[in-house]
Structure 1
Amino acid sequence: MKREGTATRALWHLVSALGAAVFLAPLFFTVSMSLRPIDRPYPTRLELLPAQATLDNFGRALRDGNLLAYGANSLLVVAVAIPLTLLVASWAGLAIAHARPREQRALTAFALVALLVPQGLIWLPRFLLVKWLGLMDTPLALILPAFMGTSALFTLMFTWAFRRLPEGLLDAAALDGADALRVWWSVAMPVVGPTILAVTALCFISYWGDYIDPLLYLKTPARYTLPVGLSILQQADRTRWSIVMAGAALYALPPLAVFLAAQRFFLSSRRTLWLG
């Protein structure tokens, strides 16, 4: 039995290492290509690190692609969307978690069904809503989903996290005279820290990597976000892939840093979600 358990763990580690290699290989070769001087021919074989590696391409990408301005626009959207998402999703999650059993099952089922709706089906209704609200060509058009919790997944994550709270904890706080906001802020939220960090990381990646919404709602180039700016850089420098790859590496750095920083809490929250 012990030998079988050791073999199973070894196989699991091998599969995990292969999976990690598959996902990390594109990032590695992006960085490798970004270090290649633009006046050198492209390699004809596998090259881990280019000869005469240089960081000049990163400066060219920032300058020629105006990536700093586009990055500032993306940071603005992220800085507003994340707190709004945490606020709305946690409120909804707490309400569902402590609703009566019948309402709780119905609301949870509704959230699960919402996760199954393809994004393409809501682009037209959301476009018409943004146009009706007069938010076209403004950052608020990109932030609008945060007013609804961004994704039903985030509401479900908070729901399952709050369901693990002791039954009498919130009731005791209410008996002590705490109102609903006080119970939410002082009692419920401090207990679900891993879920907060996991939702923050996923929300950051969602808004940082959003490419479709800026194309749909923004018309002024100065308001474009970083994914659109990177696409513009790619079209302008089709023959200088080292500069394009440098821009792609800069674009991937913030979400990678956020995910690595919150990885332990993300895994903890995922176990909470699946275990209920």
Structure 2
Amino acid sequence: MNAVRSGVVRQLTPGRLVAYAALALYAVVSLYPFAWMVSGALKGRDEILRGGHLVPREPTLDTLVDTWSRLHFFDYLLNSVKVAGLTVLGVLAVYSLASYAFAVLDFPGRRFLFWFFVALLFVPGITVLLPLVILENKLGILGTHLGLVLPFVNGTAPLTVLLLTNAFRSIPRELHDAARVDGAGEARIFWRVYLPLSRPSLITIAVLTAVPTWNEYVLTRVSLNDESRYTLPLALEALASGNVPRYNEIMAGSLILVVPVIVLFLVAQRYFVNGLTGAVKD
């Protein structure tokens, strides 16, 4: 027991203490705005206008209930789920196949195409916004959810290809060769061998795709004019742009927007770290 205690004491070097203190400070600074958001969502209008205290003196769920029902947040929630869900499915379906080809198959120009995808990581998405809007207008999909899903899927290509290709490369080549000896084709090897072994990486990609898609504002604001197709970020903007902003309702809307992301991460966190580590270790 004494040996364990002395080992713990030796590990707490001044450098570690400074690092822990910096991380604790960063956590407080990061969580403080979130705490105010939760606090505001639980306050009535009069109390939040008085301000000055973090803990609600008269906590109430009426603000959340009224914001949810009066502003039809459920409809906007379904729109966000639809766009984010279709984007995740499209990313996993398209780029898992592309990454398998880059990692396993041998074809002319493989290295060039792979590094071309990786190079796209350094292209700011805002630079293609205007050409994208013009193209979608000519295709007749501007202002639709499909006009959001397709650019989101395309924009996720560089990071997804990089992570999944490395994840597939980390799988022993002997498994592929053994499956070929047993008579399996490439499609069956991909479905039965590579996808199951890459589940943590696939879940990581799903989370990394879903979160920014869920929070996307710029392209959504430019594309959508029909209020019935609004996603949650646009609904929150409409809530904040009134003549007399109701700050407690804005906080309640923000909480409704962020809770699904937190739940998603909590559910997938045990896969997330393993998947990210496996995807970047090579």
TM-score computed with the length of structure 1 as normaliser: 0.91
- How many Å apart are 1:147 and its aligned residue? 4.9
Task: Mark the runs of 5 or more structure 1 residues left unpaired by the alignment.
Answer: none
- How many Å apart are 1:149 and its aligned residue? 7.0
Q: Distance in 2 between matches of 1:18 and 1:50?
A: 24
Indicate how the Cα distance of structure 1 residues 264 and 15 shifts in structure 2: closer, same or farther if over 3 A, else same: farther
Task: Mark the runs of 5 or more structure 2 residues left unpaired by the alignment.
Answer: 1-6
My pick for the range that moved more, 240-249 or 18-27, is: 18-27
Structure 1 runs (4+) greater than 6 angstroms displaced: none
Q: Distance in 1 between matches of 2:32 and 2:112?
A: 43
SS in 2 for 1:109: helix
- How many Å apart are 1:26 and its aligned residue? 1.3
Q: Give the number of aligned pairs.
A: 275
Q: Distance in 1 between matches of 2:100 and 2:211?
A: 24
Could you tell me which of 116, 120, 139 is aligned with 2:145?
139
Whether the 8 Å contact between 1:157 and 1:269 is mirrored in structure 2 is no
My pick for the range that moved more, 200-209 or 61-70, is: 61-70
Whether the 8 Å contact between 1:149 and 1:155 is mirrored in structure 2 is no
The C-alpha deviation readout for 1:111-161, integer Å capped at 9, x for no partner, is 221000001111122212212221122110011135547331111111111
Q: Distance in 1 between matches of 2:231 and 2:132?
A: 19
Indicate how the Cα distance of structure 1 residues 41 and 58 shifts in structure 2: closer, same or farther if over 3 A, else same: closer
SS in 2 for 1:36: coil
Q: Distance in 2 between matches of 1:107 and 1:24?
A: 41
Indicate how the Cα distance of structure 1 residues 267 and 15 shifts in structure 2: closer, same or farther if over 3 A, else same: farther
Whether the 8 Å contact between 1:70 and 1:229 is mirrored in structure 2 is yes
SS in 1 for 2:266: helix
- How many Å apart are 1:71 and its aligned residue? 0.9
Residue equivalent to 2:4: none
Indicate how the Cα distance of structure 1 residues 237 and 94 shifts in structure 2: closer, same or farther if over 3 A, else same: farther
Indicate how the Cα distance of structure 1 residues 116 and 128 shifts in structure 2: closer, same or farther if over 3 A, else same: same
Residue equivalent to 1:77: 83
Could you tell me which of 263, 267, 271 is aligned with 1:261?
267
Residue equivalent to 1:34: 41
Whether the 8 Å contact between 1:88 and 1:149 is mirrored in structure 2 is no
Could you tell me which of 102, 107, 128 is aligned with 1:122?
128
Whether the 8 Å contact between 2:167 and 2:280 is mirrored in structure 1 is no
Q: Report matched runs for 1:42-61 at 5 Å.
A: 42-45=49-52, 47-61=53-67
Could you tell me which of 224, 228, 234 is aligned with 1:222?
228
Pairing 1:63–2:69 present: yes
Q: Residue type of the partner of 1:163?
A: R
Pairing 1:270–2:281 present: no
Indicate how the Cα distance of structure 1 residues 239 and 225 shifts in structure 2: closer, same or farther if over 3 A, else same: closer
Residue equivalent to 1:153: 159
Indicate how the Cα distance of structure 1 residues 164 and 103 shifts in structure 2: closer, same or farther if over 3 A, else same: farther
Could you tell me which of 190, 208, 212 is aligned with 2:218?
212
Q: Residue type of the partner of 2:20?
A: H
Q: Residue type of the partner of 1:196?
A: L
Whether the 8 Å contact between 2:152 and 2:213 is mirrored in structure 1 is no
Indicate how the Cα distance of structure 1 residues 42 and 146 shifts in structure 2: closer, same or farther if over 3 A, else same: closer
Work out the percentage of aligned pairs sharing the same amino acid: 31
Q: Distance in 2 between matches of 1:189 and 1:41?
A: 50
The RMSD of aligned alpha carbons is: 2.3
- How many Å apart are 1:35 and its aligned residue? 0.9
- How many Å apart are 1:6 and its aligned residue? 2.4
Q: Report matched runs for 1:95-110 at 5 Å.
A: 95-100=101-106, 103-110=109-116
Q: Residue type of the partner of 1:24?
A: L
